[in-house]
Amino acid sequence: MVSELKRAAMIYDFDGTLAEGNLQERSFIPEVGMTKEAFWAEVKARKQAEDADEILTYMHLMLEKARLAGLAVTKEALRHHGENAPLFPGLAGKVWFERINAFAAQQGIALEHYILSSGIEEMILGCPIADAFEKVFASKFIYEDGEAAWPGVAINYTTKTQYVFRINKGISNHWDNDKLNAFTAESERPIPFERMIFLGDGDTDIPTMRTVTDKGGHSVAVYDPSRTDRDMSKVHRLIADRRVDFVAPADYREKSQLEIIVKGIVGRMARGCSRIALVCSMPCSRRAG
């Protein structure tokens, strides 16, 4: 008799992790007549002036600028903005997910994929790989008469952490805080932290990376190797501060450094081994202790 597969989760940030840059910058921001530099500068200035949350501020500014430009922000319009997401190599056609899932199944692991992002849910749902995910947890609007009226969910850098607990407990919505806060024995949680892998691209993912690694899971920092302006010292700090286990280019093609790392983690999960010693794609020392 074949034993039941063990459930595991790969949890991805989206912007900068699966796709280059921010989805809003591709078409939405130009459509409202702004450059990405001007838009984000206004977000930063306004959040400081109002002592406000940055994610709520950018969502409010999206609605404000769209209204001034005479554009309706509907679910359909937002999904359209996500259709041409500039995905990193290896993600087109969802071959990454198929290949990793097949490998995991051979190891006795049922691998599920999740998005955990501060970006806009509807834009992510419009991208070509959206149906590869069990659930997309992202910021979203409340709609009235078909149009976005107000931010309904704003996932910022620290509130991201609650969603790894939702995945851990099998909660597939934003609203059920009673179930989230209720005591659930570790043995009754569908996906233990030890069988989680979080992929993110930097500062905004640090609290989630730390939560996952502290709970016995694994965190991988990915970076865009084509970005000459990237501050690599941030990547070095992630390693030095023990926020991540691995660092690799955001390359999802077969036999890439990232695939080798993920398959290694899945293999350890299958054997129920303890957390893996630090490996990275750039010169670094092995974690002590």
47 in a domain, yes or no?
Answer: no
101 in a domain, yes or no?
Answer: yes
48 in a domain, yes or no?
Answer: no
210 in a domain, yes or no?
Answer: yes
What CATH number did the domain enclosing 213 receive? 3.40.50.1000
86 in a domain, yes or no?
Answer: yes
Contacts with 144 (C-beta within 8 Å, 6 or more apart), sequence order: none
Say whether 14 sits in a helix, a strand or coil.
coil
30 in a domain, yes or no?
Answer: no
Expressed as residue numbers, the domain containing 212 is 6-21+82-280
CA distances from 199 to 14, 15, 193, 258, 281 (A): 9, 11, 14, 10, 15
State the first-to-last Cα distance of the chain, in angstroms, to the nearest integer. 40
Q: Whole-model pTM?
A: 0.90
Q: pLDDT (tens digit, 0 to 9) for every residue of the chain, 289 residues total?
A: 346 889 999 999 999 999 998 999 999 999 999 999 999 999 999 999 999 999 999 999 999 999 999 999 999 999 999 999 999 999 999 999 999 999 999 999 999 999 999 999 999 999 999 999 999 999 999 999 999 999 999 999 899 999 999 999 999 999 999 999 999 998 899 999 999 999 998 677 888 999 999 999 999 999 888 765 555 666 667 776 667 889 899 999 999 999 999 999 999 999 885 444 444 444 333 333 3
Total of domains in the chain: 1
